[in-house]
Structure 1
Amino acid sequence: MIKRELYLERIRPFMHKDLIKVITGIRRCGKSVILQLIQKELENEGITPSSILNYNFESLKLAKLCTAEALHKDVIDKTKAISGKAYIFFDEIQEVENWEKVINSLRIDIDCDIYITGSNSKLLSGELSTYLAGRYVEFIIYPFSFKEFCSLIKKTKPKSSTAECFNLYIKFGGMPYLWNLEYQEEPVKQYLQDLYNAVELKDIIRRNKIRDVDLLERIINYITANTGNTFSATSISKYLKNEGRTIAPETVLNYIHAGIDAFLFYPVKRQDVEGKKILSVQEKYYIVDHGIREAVIGDNMANINMILENIVFLELIRRGYKVTVGKYAQKEIDFIAQKQAKTIYIQVCYILATQETSEREFGVYRNIKDNYPKYVLSLDEFDMSRDGIIHKNIKDFLLEDD
């Protein structure tokens, strides 16, 4: 079990506090492991195991506790034997009917420190905020970063080079369970396809009561195939019309948002660098894990620029940046990343193989006169920095501390 220190560092200041810790992310990204790591830290601090209650609602053993009244009674009964604060962990809480009422009541009824996980952002922000406004903090968990992935591989194969690790990462992505499959191609592909189907069925179709499953699949597959490309709901609507399906752009947008709520996709708005304003048309969407895209769509290597861009985007939001796509006149900057007072510009490409490619990637910054750091990231091994613009190898960027 890899210790995911990036997330633990963010959670530690809130441990032992009465704020509800809400841990979200796509299915199988490692939320349950985070709960285990927190429990281990609590025990290392001297909290007795008997003070820790654990509920995993994916288990049928807990089916009888999937109503608010039954769960509340069970927790109250079990905490009577606990002297002092109770530490309560609810995994996949959305399986409990009216779960938010339970959490709110427990916070009032007993001395407790509560941690919950779930796989739907709408469930855990909209409904939770209604009952617990200002009384919870949310932590989004992502698949393994390249740094985590590399660390894991080198634990068992210490002679593996960074380049070898990156080739594996490009091919398989960062879903944690793949380690148990020893990164064998066919089992990995089957697992990721099944995961994709589970997210579609459980977190999108059932959650949103979608009847036209075929249409949903077409839209999700379109976005998955076109990761990182600029398009609108209207353009998808026109595409589907050519495929013989007539659908309003508003319906397309609703289906896209259902995928976003399930943490399958992340939307990125476009920003006018000159006007310093967010544009309301033609967002980009990035998939939560490029390994899922390879398993479902294939051809990641044929679209390597797209995949590298997806990897860098996920790394930026993993590090806590707010990310937009930059627009300057007719040119586009891949990412403008902002965190507190820090702003950086990033261009991503495969290799700077020709003068034309180099001019395109570096030249986009020519008329941007502010003093924020500007980067070009590629897989070239030699430093090609110029004109104050920093060139870095993508692998080095992914391995460095923010």
Structure 2
Amino acid sequence: MKQQKDLIKSLILDFQKNLPLKIIPRNLALPIESGKIISVCGVRRCGKTFVLYDTINKLLKHKVRAENILFINFDDERIAFTEKNLDFIIQSYTELFPDIPFKEVFFFFDEIQMAQGWEQFVRRVYDKYSKNIFISGSNSKLLATEIATSLRGRTIPFEVFPLSFSEFCLFKDIDTNFYLQKNAAKLKNSFVEFNKYGGFPEVVLSGFKFYEKILQEYFHIMLYQDMVERYEIKNIAILKYYISRMLANLSKPTSVNKIYNEIKSAGIKCDKNLLYDYADMLESIYFLQRLCKHDSSVLKAELIKEKKAYFIDNGMINALNYSFTDDFGKQLENTIFLWLRRQSDFKRDIYFYKGKKECDFILFDRNKPVKLIQSCWSLSDPDTIKREIQGLTDAAKNLKCKDLTIVTSEEEDEIKAENFIIKVVPAWKLLLEKERTNTLSFSH
């Protein structure tokens, strides 16, 4: 017991000695006086810890002393936290700072899902000691389930993603004011990099050196630690095959049933329900997200078997699926989905349309379709223009929506088609313009 407490004390003191921390701030600012448990969730290595660091730096600027900061990284291999030793954190801090009231202490628990029984511990800290609690984790389902059962009404959730395009530019020290002509060319080139390499902070800061090895290692940790070990998966080969098929079918409607039949035809025994479980697991660790086809019945839309899959980062897809490297169109579509996904107000209100024609994205606001988006790298081919326009107008007529946009790599225009006006917008400009306001603007 003494050895564990001594280690916890050294972790607390070592962290405090290094304050304030040198970081590049992200666009997300966490509230520091909410009286709620602030939960931060996102894929591994996307920058959740640095969002916590940024919050700590802001507390220091608000005259909170370093001694009042208690930061524990639960992914630290030096100590395995269990239900039995979690209270050592409280005991260790008390022994270090007996004169500091706990109500004045700010608790930061990073990757808390690594500790068994964490939810009861956090609730106990909140109810008994302090209302200043910040937690982070890499499993949305795990955190959401435990928060819903043990911490209901006590939390405010936030999501962190790999860098947005504006953050990507900030990390590369690029001026994002695209109204200045001198910046336009550099921003266009930067977007091509962003669209290919993605936004994991380590990859961007390294100048994309060894990006494939870095991201393959991230994936390896996600696969084995977050899935195989946590869920005790036995048949890793089937899991890997499922992932490879989803990667190959990026942005295409794909059903679990189709993949199941492929496995079955190869003479391999597989439980179909297991594949559905894999899909849920991959979504819970933020590796991918499935997009439903729109249906007037929300329930029916959820139950439709064919769904599109998009992935957390273009760089990671490139590192895992080499055929994706030169497919700029698919890369752009994944980028636009991620941009839409990070608009938190609309995370559950994005669908794809498939009628006579297809439309990549429908955005809903309070159950009303308010924006239709097609993603297309280039409109230089007349057949491509025709296909994109027909997809938009078919969806617009069926859904009675008038806000139509085609997002391209660099073209900018306005197209009149039937009774609609279609805006053609370059992705680099769209992402920067919307990210400045951190919201989506809709015309009704």
- Tell whether the 8 Å contact from 1:237 to 1:246 is kept in structure 2 after alignment: no
Q: Is the 8 A contact 2:188 2:410 kept in 1?
A: no
Determine if the alignment matches structure 1 residue 118 to structure 2 residue 137.
Answer: yes
* Residue 94 to residue 371, structure 1, CA distance change in 2 (3 Å): closer
Q: Residue 176 of structure 1 aligns with which residue?
A: 201
Structure 1 pair 274–118 and aligned structure 2 pair: CA distance change class (3 A): closer
Q: Is 1:325–1:332's contact at 8 Å kept on the other side of the alignment?
A: no
Contact kept? 2:256, 2:275, Cα under 8 Å: yes
Matching residue within 355, 363, 371 for 1:344? 371
Q: Secondary structure at the match of 2:421?
A: coil
Equivalent in 369, 383, 390 of residue 423 of structure 2: 390
The 5 A counterparts of 1:3-402 are 3-5=25-27, 7-8=28-29, 11-12=30-31, 15-63=32-80, 66-79=81-94, 80-83=98-101, 84-155=103-174, 161-184=186-209, 187-272=210-295, 278=301, 280-281=303-304, 282-320=306-344, 321-322=346-347, 323-339=349-365, 343-367=370-394, 368-369=396-397, 370-386=400-416, 387-401=420-434, 402=439
Question: 1:123-157 CA deviation, whole Å, 9 max, x = no partner?
Answer: 10112211111211211111011221122223599
| 1:3 counterpart SS class | coil
1:81–1:236 Cα change, 3 Å: farther
Structure 2 SS opposite 1:54: strand
Describe the shift of the 1:90–1:342 C-alpha distance in structure 2 as closer, same or farther (beyond 3 A). Answer: farther
Alignment partners' CA distance in 2, 1:97 and 1:301: 40
Maintained 8 Å contact 2:378/2:411? no
CA contact 2:357–2:390 (8 Å) conserved in 1: no
Deviation at 1:200, TM superposition (A): 0.2
Supply the AA of the counterpart residue of 1:316: L
Could you give the per-residue CA deviations for residues 51-86 of structure 1, whole angstroms, max 9, x where no partner exists? 1100011223333xx023422242255254323421
| 1:213 CA drift (Å) | 0.9
Shift of 1:243: 3.8
- Does 377-386 or 262-271 show the bigger shift? 377-386
Structure 1 residues 222-231 or 187-196, which shifts more? 222-231
Structure 1 residues 45 and 208: CA distance shift in structure 2, 3 A:
same
Count of matched residue pairs: 393
- Amino acid in structure 1 at the alignment position of 2:433: E
Q: 2:4 — aligned with what?
A: none
% identical aligned pairs:
26
Cα drift, residue 311 of structure 1: 0.4
Q: Which residue of 1 aligns with 2:16?
A: none
Q: SS where residue 198 of structure 1 aligns?
A: helix
Q: Secondary structure at the match of 2:132?
A: strand
1: CA distance, partners of 2:364 / 2:412: 27
Q: Return 5+ residue gaps in structure 1 as ranges.
A: none
Q: Contact conserved, 1:22 with 1:139, CA < 8 A, in 2?
A: yes
Q: 1:71 is matched by which residue type in structure 2?
A: L
Give the drift of 1:397: 1.1
Aligned to 1:376, the other structure's residue is in SS state strand
Residues in 2 aligned to 1:272 and 1:310: alpha-carbon distance in whole angstroms: 22
**Contact persistence 1:264–1:288 (CA under 8 A):** yes
Bigger mean CA offset, 250-259 vs 235-244: 235-244
Q: CA deviation at 1:224?
A: 2.0
Q: How much does 1:112 deviate?
A: 3.3
**1:335: how far off?**
0.6
- Give, in whole Å, the separation in 2 of the partners of 1:339 and 1:139: 20
- Aligned alpha-carbon RMSD (Å): 2.4
**What are the Cα deviations for residues 309-350 of structure 1, in whole angstroms up to 9, with x where unaligned?**
110000011122234333353222101123457821111111
For residues 222 and 344 of structure 1, the distance between their equivalents in structure 2, rounded to whole angstroms, comes to 30
* Residues 147, 273 of structure 1: alpha-carbon distance in 2 compared, 3 angstrom cutoff: farther
Query: Partners in 1 of 2:154 and 2:54 — Cα distance?
Result: 23
Q: Which amino acid aligns with 1:326?
A: F
Query: Quick one: structure 1 residues 262 and 371, their matched pair in 2 at CA, closer, same or farther if it must change by over 3 Å?
Result: closer
| Displacement of 1:285 | 1.1
Residues 40, 160 of structure 2: 8 Å contact kept = yes
Q: Quick one: distance in 1 between partners of 2:100 and 2:45?
A: 31
**How far apart, CA to CA, are the structure 1 residues paired with 2:207 and 2:432?**
22
Q: Which digits, 9 at most, give the CA deviation of each residue in 1:9-66, with x for residues without a partner?
A: xx22xx2233111111111000000000000111111211111100011223333xx0
Q: Tell me if structure 1 keeps the 8 A contact 2:291–2:352.
A: no
Whether the aligned pair in 1 keeps the contact of 2:414 and 2:422 (CA below 8 Å) is: no
Residues 303 and 245 from structure 1, CA distance in 2 versus in 1: closer, same or farther, beyond 3 angstroms? farther
